[in-house]
Amino acid sequence: MAIRSFLILFILFFFSSLNPILSLYEDQVGLVDWHQQYLGKVKQAVFHTHKTGRKRVVVSTEENVVASLDLRQGEIFWRHVLGSNDVIDGIDIALGKYVITLSSGGSILRAWNLPDGQMVWESSLRGPKHSKSLFLVRTNLKIEKDNIVIIFSNGRLNAVSCMDGEVLWEKDFEGESLKVQQVIQPPGSNLIYVVGFASSSLFEMYQINALNGELLKHESAAFSGGFLGEVSPVFSETVVALDSTGLILLTISFQNGKISFHQMPISNLVKDSFGPAKIIPSSVTGIFAIKMNAVTIVIRVKDESKLEVVEKTNHETSISDALSISEGQQAFALVQHASHEIHLRVKLAHNWDDNLLKESVKMDQHRGLVHKVYINNYIRTDKSYGFRALIVMEDHSLLLLQQGEIVWSREDGLASIIDVTTSELPVERDGVSVAKVEHNLFEWLKGHMLKLKGTLMLASPQDIAAIQSMRLKNSEKSKMTRDHNGFRKLLIVLTRAGKLFALHTGDGHIVWSHLLQSLQKSKVCQHPIGLNLYKWQVPHHHAMDENPSVLVIGKCGPSSDAPGALSFVDTYTGKELSSLSLVHSVAQVIPLPYTDSTEQCLHLLIDADKHAHLYPKTPEAISIFEREFSNIYWYSVEDDNGIIKGHALRGKCTGEVADEVCFETRELWSIVFPSESEKIIAAVTRKLNEVVHTQAKVIADQEVMYKYISRNLLFVATVALKGSVEIGSVTPEESWLVAYLIDTVTGRILHQVTHHGSQGPVHAVFSENWVVYHYFNLKAHRYEMSVIEIYDQSRADNKDVWKLVLGKHNLTSPISLYSRPDVITKSQSYFFTHSVKAIAVTSTTKGITSKQLLIGTIGDQVLALDKRFLDPRRTVNPTQAEKEEGIIPLIDSLPIIPQSYVTHALRVEGLRGIITVPAKLESTTLVFAHGVDLFFTQLAPSRTYDSLTDDFNYALLLITIVALLAAIFVTWTLSERKELQENWR
C-alpha cells in the first residue's frame, strides 16, 4: 500500500508538472517576438523652442497619443495613450517646461513635464453647453511670472494657471445660438477677442480683459447673407469668413469695437471660379487660403479690406502655422505636391514675393499627398536661419525634412490597422536570392567559436553579450523564403489610410507597402473607407507558379448604400493587380469554401438591396457556384433593430442589374428580439479556416462525448435595453444578458441562457464546439467569464466497438443541418479580475494541440489562459479518473499567472485585436496583437513537443557522443592487443 500511495504521489507530481508554464528566460526576449511602437496620424505638432537641451517635437495624434519625439532620429522619448474616449483637442508648450493638452471635448486639461513626460497637474473644466474647443497659450500673458492658458470649451471661457492648473477666472457665453469661432489674443495686449456667429446671420464680438475675465465690450452686427463654416483670423482685429453660399468672401473687422463687413465675390478675384469655396484656416498674419474643388487659392489681405490673390494652383497645397522667428517677423511654410516631388517654400508673412527657403524633395509615391506641415527654425553656423519641416503624409507617415532631404520617417499609419491577413513567402529555389547569411569565412568561424564557447560555458560576459546579439540578429529568421516550420510568413495589414503593408513575421520589418488606388480620394469616390482583407488566391499544389494575392474591400463613404471598391494585390511584390469600382454597395462579404482551377477563392458580395454578386466573374466560377447553389445561405445581424435574418439564393437577377454573376436572394427565417427588452451587442462565429482534429471527446472512464461541430453556428449576446449603458448606471434587477446559439442555416436556436443581473460589454470567442464570453456581473460587482460547450447527443449511442472497428458507422458521412440535431450543452461561469479589450484563441495546423485563450487585458497586455480552466466539467472535488484526465478542481475565479503574459514586460498600447495564425509545426501558433503598437510572438500552448527546444543541451549530447566514441576506440585497441598476446602464448 505504501508503494501504491507513493506511486500516486509520483503520478500527481508528473501531471502537475505538465501544466504548461509560458514564462521565458531573460535572454529569450526578442528571439521570436518583436514589438513596434507607433503614434498614429499626427494632428498637431509643437516644437520645443527652448534654446538649450535636446531638440524635441511634441505631437498629438488621431489615436489620442501625446508623444515627445527626438528631432534627430524620430525616436520616441515618451508617449502617453489617452484612450479612445479621451480625444485630444489641442496641445501646446507652456513655460518652456510643460506640455499642455486639452482633451475629452475640452473638459480635461493636463500638463506633462516636457523632459520625462510625467503628469504635473490635471484640471477638469465644465461648461453649460457643448461647443467647439479652442485653446490658446501665449507667453506674453502673464500674471506674476505665471503664464495663463485661455481655453474656450463647452460654452465657457476659462483662464487656467500654467503652474498648478488652477482656474483663475471663467466666463460663460450662454447666448442661445452663439457659436464661438475664434478666440484671438492680439500680441502685446491684455485683451481677448471672442468672435462667433449667432443665429446664422449675426456676428458677435466680445472683448475681454485677459487678466480678470471682465467683459469690456460686446458688439454684434447682422449680415443678411449668413455665414458658412469657419473663420480665419488675418489680423488681430480682422477675420475672414464666407457667406452662406460660399461664393462671397467677407472681411470682418472689429477695430475699436466697431464691426464692419467688406464683401468680395470670389469671382472678382479669380476669373474662372467654379463652385462654393472652403476656407483653410491658418494663423499666418495677413494671409489665408481657400479651396474650390481641387484648386487652392492663397489670398493676401492688404490693409483692411483689399484682397489680393497671390497664388492659384492645381496642386495639393498645405500651409503651416506661423512661426515667429524674430520680433514682429512671422514665417510660414507652403508645401506643394508635384507627382514625384514635393516643393517646400518658407516665406515671411509680410513679404510674399521672396522665399526664405525653397527646396524640392523626392518623395515616394506610396506616401500619397502632404496633409500637414509644421516648421521650426534653427540658427545655422553662419547665423542665418535654417528651417526644418515636419510633414504628415496621406498614408499617416511622419517625415522630417531638412536641407532638402528626408532626415527620418516614421510609418505611423501602422498605428491604425483595420484588418490583418497572412500570406506565405516564396518557396526557396535556386533562383530565389537568399539573404546574405555571413559576410565572410572569418566572421562565420568567429561566430561559431563564440557559440561553442557559450555552450561549453567558457564565455566571458562580453562574449555572452555578443552571443545574445548574434542570436537576436539571426539572419535566418528574416529570410525572404518559406521555412520548414512555417514560422516565416508575411503579415498583410490594411491601415485606415488605405495603405497596405507587408510585415515579415521574423523581425517585423516592412517588406513592401502600397497605397491602394481604390481607396484613394477621387471624383467618383469622395470618402473612401477600407473595410476588410480576404485571401483571394492561395496557390498550392497545381497552381504553384502563381503568386498569392489578397482582396481588399472598401467602400465610398460611410452610408450603407455607398458603392464598393475592390483591389487585388500580389503579396510577393505588393503590386496592385487590378482595382474595381463597383456599381453596387457592399454590405456583406462571404468567402465561399470553393476555389477555381487557379486557386482563386470564390467570394459572394451582398449589397444593400440583398442581391448577391459572385467574384471572380469567370464562367468557371459561375459553374462551380451553380453546382453548390442550393446549399449556400447567408444571414444578416441587424443590430440596430434587433433582427437576425436568414436568406437563401433564388436565381439570377432580373431587371436593370441583370448580370451573369448577380443573384437574387429570398428571406428564409428571421429571429426578432423584443426591441424593448433586448438589444444585440455581440455576434461571433467560428473562424473560417479553423481546423478541428476530431469530433469525439474522450472523458474519464473511456466514455465518449461527440462534439457538435458546425461551421454554421452563431453566438449572439443581447442585453436589456437599460443594461446597454455604462457599467454602474443600472441596478442588477434592471439588467440581464441573454446568450444564444443559433444555427444560421435553419434559424434554429440551439441554446439560450440568461444571466440575470449582468451587462455588457460582451467579448466572445467561438472555437470548435465551445464559446467563451466575458461580461460584467452587477450583483457580484465583478467581471465574469462563461463557457458553453455543445455536444451532439444523437451520436452518443455509437458505442458498438465492432461497428467502429469495421467502419460501419455514419459518423463521418456528410450531414444536413435540416436533420434535427439533438444537442446538449454544458456551461460554467467564473469570475475574472480584468476587463477585456479582445479575446482570441490559439489555432494550430491540425487542431491537435490544446487551446489557449488569448485575452487582451485593460492594461494592454495579452494574457494566455489555458482552455482547461474554462471546462464546464470542472467540479470542486474531481474523482481520481477526472484528475487523471486533467480536470482542474473548480474554484470561483480564473487564475492570472504573471508568467503567462504573452507580452511579458511589454505593452501593446491601445490594443484592438489579436490574430492567431497556425505555423506548419503542429505545436506552434503565431500571435499578432495590434493597436497603436504592434506585437508578434510564437506560442506553444502544450510546449514544443514536436521539436527540440531552444535550451536543449546540445553540449551534453555532443560530449556524450564523443566520450562513447573514445571509449569504443580505446576498448577496441585494448582487446586487439590482448588477443594478440593470447595468440602468442
Partner 1 sequence: MEKGKGVMGAGRRWAVDFSDNSTAPSSRDIPDPPGFTRASVDQDDSAVSRQKKDAEANWKAQKAWEVAQAPFKNLLMMGFMMWMAGSTVHLFSIGITFSALWQPISALQGVGKVFEPYKDNKVDLLGPKLLFIALNLGGLALGVWKLNTLGLLPTHASDWVSSLSPAQEVEYSGGGIPL
Which residues bind to partner 1, rule: CB under 8 A? 3-4, 7-8, 10-11, 14, 531-532, 553, 555, 560, 586-593, 604, 606, 608, 628, 631-639, 646, 683, 685, 692-696, 698, 702-704, 706-707, 709-712, 744-745, 798-801, 804-805, 811-818, 884
Nearer to partner 1, 205 or 553 (CB): 553
Smallest distance from the beta carbon of 740 to partner 1, in angstroms?
A: 15
In terms of CB distance, is 457 or 806 closer to partner 1?
806
Shortest Cβ 730–partner 1 spacing (Å): 24
Cell (9 digits) for 861: 497586455
Q: How far is the CB of 683 from partner 1 (least distance, A)?
A: 6
Contact 420, 919 (CB under 8 A): no
Residue closer to partner 1 by CB (options 11, 456) is 11
Compute the distance between CA of residue 53 and CA of residue 115 in angstroms, rounded to an integer: 9
* Closest CB to partner 1 among residues 193, 715: 715
Of residues 689 and 953, the one with the C-beta less far from partner 1: 689
Separation CA 202–CA 227 (nearest Å): 9
The residues near 645 (Cβ < 8 Å, ≥ 6 apart) are 635, 636, 638, 667, 669, 670, 671
Report, in Å, the least distance between residue 489 CB and partner 1. Answer: 25
> In terms of CB distance, is 247 or 817 closer to partner 1?
817
DSSP-derived letter for residue 640 is T
Nearest approach, Cβ of residue 712 and partner 1 (Å):
4
Cell of 581: 469600382
Provide CB contacts within 8 A for 476, sequence distance 6+: 437
Question: Treating both helix axes as pointing N-terminal to C-terminal, what angle do 441-455 and 461-472 enclose, rounded to 10 degrees?
Answer: 120
User: Which is nearer to partner 1, 112 or 635 (by Cβ)?
Assistant: 635
Report the sign of the C-alpha dihedral through residues 952, 955, 958, 960, in that order: negative
Site of grid cell 474662372? 272
Q: In the complex with partner 1, which residue's Cβ is closer, 818 or 954?
A: 818
CA of 78: how far to CAs of 83, 115, 119, 677, in Å? 16, 9, 12, 47
Task: Tell the smallest beta-carbon distance from residue 701 to partner 1 (Å).
Answer: 9
CA dihedral 739→743→746→749, nearest 10 degrees, is: -30
Q: How far is the CB of 537 from partner 1 (least distance, A)?
A: 19
Taking the complex as a whole, the smallest distance from the CB of residue 553 to partner 1 amounts, in Å, to 8
The helix (H) or strand (E) run that includes residue 974 is helix 954-984
Q: Which helix (H) or strand (E) holds 266?
A: helix 266-269
Min. distance of Cβ 915 from partner 1 in angstroms?
Answer: 17
How many C-beta atoms lie closer than 10 Å to residue 726's C-beta?
A: 9
Enter the C-alpha cell of residue 668: 428564409
Give yes or no for a cis peptide into 761 (omega within 30° of 0).
yes
Min dist CB 746 to partner 1, Å, is 8
CB of 9 to partner 1, least distance (A): 12
Q: How far is the CB of 10 from partner 1 (least distance, A)?
A: 7
Q: Phi/psi of residue 450, each to 5°? A: -60, -45
Q: Is 324 exposed, middle or buried (0-12, 13-18, 19+ CB in 10 A)?
A: middle
**Mind giving me the DSSP string for 167-227?**
EEEEEE---TT-EEEEEE--TTSSEEEEEEEETTTEEEEEEEETTT--EEEEEEEE-TT-E
Comparison of 216 and 881: residue with beta carbon closer to partner 1: 881
Q: Which three cell numbers stand for residue 456?
A: 561549453
Of 308 and 667, CB closest to partner 1:
667
703: burial class by Cβ within 10 Å (0-12, 13-18, 19+)?
Answer: exposed
The continuous run of DSSP H or E covering 885 comes out as helix 880-885
For partner 1, give the closer residue by CB, 669 or 783: 669
Cell matching residue 664: 437574387
Rounded to the nearest 10°, the torsion over CA 280, 281, 282, 287 is 70
The one-letter amino acid code at 513 reads S
Supply the minimum distance, in Å, between the C-beta of residue 421 and partner 1: 16
Nearer to partner 1, 346 or 612 (CB): 612
**In angstroms, what is the minimal distance from the CB of 191 to partner 1?**
52
The nearest distance, CB 563 to partner 1, in angstroms, is: 13
Q: Are 510 and 469 in contact (CB under 8 A)?
A: no
| Cβ atoms of 886 and 865 closer than 8 Å | no
Residue with Cβ nearer partner 1 (132 or 883): 883
State in angstroms the smallest separation of the CB of 881 from partner 1.
10
Backbone angles phi, psi at 977, to 5 degrees: -65, -40
Q: What is the DSSP string of 831-849?
A: EESS-EEEEEE---SSS-S
Of residues 8 and 974, the one with the C-beta less far from partner 1: 8
The distance of closest approach from Cβ of residue 763 to partner 1 in the complex, given in angstroms and rounded to an integer, is 15
Residue closer to partner 1, measured from CB, 11 or 980: 11
**Residue 927 near residue 839, CB atoms below 8 Å:** no
Nearer to partner 1, 804 or 955 (CB): 804
For 225: left if phi > 0, alpha if psi spans -120 to 50, otherwise beta; the answer is: alpha
Q: Please tell me whether residue 541 adopts helix, strand or coil conformation.
A: helix
Whose Cβ is closer to partner 1: residue 183's or residue 838's? Answer: 838
* Longest CA pairwise span in the chain (Å): 135
Instruction: Return the sign of the alpha-carbon dihedral for residues 102, 104, 106, 108.
Output: negative
Whole-angstrom CA distances from 662 to 163, 553, 861 are 66, 18, 45
